[in-house]
A and B are shown apart, each in its own frame.
Chain A
């Protein structure tokens, strides 16, 4: 959108100070003006090229990442959700909706993700549900309580599990849907899009293979999850996972601790997966109960130190290039240019500790 904000009319204003400083004589002004015109023309060309790029909006970071990887420099990919906010529960204001309405393509996660979509008006022809291809495989959630108005019958606000991308095979299908949508938008770039998709699929397949191999070492290990967001991960890789409803930044109540103790009687797990780092007090008390904590970030929003999307510029990092902390990249390096793939690799490394291995390579 930034590129669209810069218009031709802005350039004389930008160049004014430069011209004002050269009023001494024609010998300076004429070549200066010519240079300015040439510069303006060149810059104008660049701006026009940028302005022609279609605007693609994604409802979460994984889709933004997929679209950036696939489209490269050919599209401007936007995640409208502010940093640090869970995109699934974001509520856009009128200005954000106006931006979305102007988009050329809006990538939806599907599976009931982003409830705000039910409360806003968007042009249907621009919407693409990237998980529509496996909608029959959505997991129905039952954790939310149901209620009724009068006695006409109960209903539930529970829907479907929506962190579909944590099943990396499904993530690859979503990436394919992103590529299909982009191909309609950018028919001239189809070979590049396909090439970029292949690279992304290779990376996702690598994650899929590593995680499957890791879990295969101890396939029946019981695990706890702090939040019911790992349904697709558990189904794909056969995790024996049982969830509670704890927040990483809040101390569980006494009742929740009691419920956990009761749960462990039937589900003797020694590890709990967290969406984010839990409070130290929670971690200590869990350890006192014999439960260790491991973070497996769903990465719904962009990492705090996210990679500049423009750096792809058509050069898509292939398998093992640039994203693989396990091959000599330090944690500080990851924090500097974290992206979806590096976050997932970090997740796998932490999970490797859970399954007592070295990352499944």
Chain B
């Protein structure tokens, strides 16, 4: 038996290219659907864990999926904004703790998440280095952001303009990194956290500038009437918040009208949550209060429907590949007719020849299985990271 495997091994080793092609075909055929299954399971696990840890989410009426993906995974899809008044309404109900989220801007490719300190307690995020947010203009970066951008407490991080063609847009704001979060293996690792008011500074709704009453250059004033001063764009706004200028930062208009993407609603108990949900069920409310778990279940149902189609496609492709492999093998045997005839003439029985060919197939199958196992182990080990990059990155 071992002799057969030895001869088969020598034969395959001699025909390296053909053997490698056969092994690759069989490996891909087996690994592809299994790797897809591993990734889907990881994505399902991640999506569900994050969604189930977020009891209720308040946002504008519209796509619940966009709302959940933006608020939970900081995805680029932006739901319609809601105002701070919506959050205040939840707060005034005394039924839940509202945690605002404003995810619109980016800093060097990572989302800037405007929120409050309650978010860190709610998600159980720990600070590995530095301190919590304390003042306007400060940022707390996720572990991956810190690693990839080489940030440590005390560094600066510039917000990115929404579009490079928006020449009249707001100035980028230089954020001061005050802390780095410990890894949480969640989208929080890839986020730059700021106070929601700082997010409004990035947007230009809150800003600071020189005192118009003590200006050195009168040309910054377009018009001045009793009780109203109209300044030109020449009036420079501060692009970094420092101890020297922080007192000049101010809100324009009523903060109750300032935008948010979503509000995480942490109900005091199940009854409070039900009561709150009832308030947003009527058709007149411009807001929706969704259960992220239910939204993600809907998404996963769609994903698994697609997966079933994919499985069928892979099955058909796999069958075709197997048939092709069988054909290749049959043709290969036909091409090896002279070689097989020589073996027969030197005394090998038909059974021995069949055993030699079987040993070749077994070696190819074993090599493919080994490679497939190694590939799946690698995919499984990095599935969380791969899913984050593929789906939320």
Q: Chain A residues in contact with chain B, CB under 8 A? A: 91, 93-94, 97-98, 101, 115, 118-125, 132, 145-151, 154-155, 157
**Residue B232 at the A interface, CB < 8 A?**
yes
Residues of A within 8 A of B227 (CB): 145-146
Give the total number of A-B pairs whose CB atoms are below 8 A apart: 87
The reply to whether the CB of B118 lies closer than 8 angstroms to some CB of chain A is yes
Tell me if B121 and A98 are in contact (CB < 8 A). no
Which residue in B131, B135, B209, B229 is a CB contact (below 8 Å) of A120? B135
B interface secondary structure, majority = mixed
B117 and A122 contacting across the interface, CB-CB below 8 Å? yes
The 5 listed contacts between A and B (C-beta, < 8 Å) are: A101-B134, A118-B251, A121-B116, A121-B197, A147-B229
Known: A124-B98, A147-B231. A118 touches B197 (CB 8 A): yes
B136:A151 contact, CB within 8 angstroms = no
Q: Tell me the complex Cα distance, A115–B132, Å.
A: 21
**Which chain A positions have C-beta within 8 A of B206?**
118
Is B132 a contact partner of A101 (Cβ separation < 8 A)? yes
Instruction: Give chain A nearest CB distance to B154 CB in angstroms.
Output: 13
Q: How far is the CA of A94 from the CA of B154 in the complex (A)?
A: 14
Residues in B lying within 8 Å of A, measured CB to CB: 91-92, 97-99, 116-118, 121, 131-136, 138, 195, 197, 206, 209, 212-213, 222, 227-233, 235, 243, 246-247, 249-253, 255
| Pair B121/A123 contact, Cβ less than 8 Å | yes
Given known A-B contacts A97-B135, A151-B222, A91 and B246 have beta carbons under 8 A apart: yes
CB contact between B228 and one of A91, A123, A132, A147 (< 8 Å): that residue: A147
Q: Are A150 and B233 in contact, CB atoms less than 8 angstroms apart? A: yes
Chain A residues within 8 Å of B231, by CB: 147-150
Contact A145-B247, Cβ < 8 Å, known A101-B134, A123-B118, A125-B118: no
* Shortest beta-carbon distance from B232 to chain A in Å: 7
Distance to closest chain B CB from A304 (angstroms): 25
Expressed in whole angstroms, the minimum distance between the Cβ of B360 and any Cβ of chain A is 69
In the bound complex, CA of A132 to CA of B250 (Å) = 22
Residues of chain A contacted by B249 (CB below 8 angstroms): 118-119
Question: Please, which residues of chain A bring their CB within 8 A of the CB of B121?
Answer: 123
A157→B250 contact, CB < 8 A: yes
Q: Report which of A98, A119, A147, A150 forms a contact with B212, defined as CB distance below 8 A.
A: A147
Q: Which residue of A lies closest to B91 (CB)?
A: A124
CA distance A157 to B254 in the complex (A): 10
Residues on the B chain within 8 Å of A122, using CB: 117
**Nearest-Cβ distance from residue B139 to partner chain A, whole angstroms:** 11
**A94–B134 contact, CB under 8 A?**
yes
CB-based contact A124/B97 at 8 Å:
yes
Q: Which of A119, A124, A149, A155 contacts B136 (CB 8 A)?
A: A119
Q: Which residue of A lies closest to B132 (CB)?
A: A101
Once the chains are docked, how many angstroms separate the CA of A160 from the CA of B289?
A: 32
Q: Please measure, in the bound complex, the distance between the C-alpha atom of A151 and the C-alpha atom of B229, giving whole angstroms.
A: 10
Instruction: Report which residue of B132, B133, B135, B206 has the largest number of chain A beta carbons within 10 angstroms of its beta carbon.
Output: B135
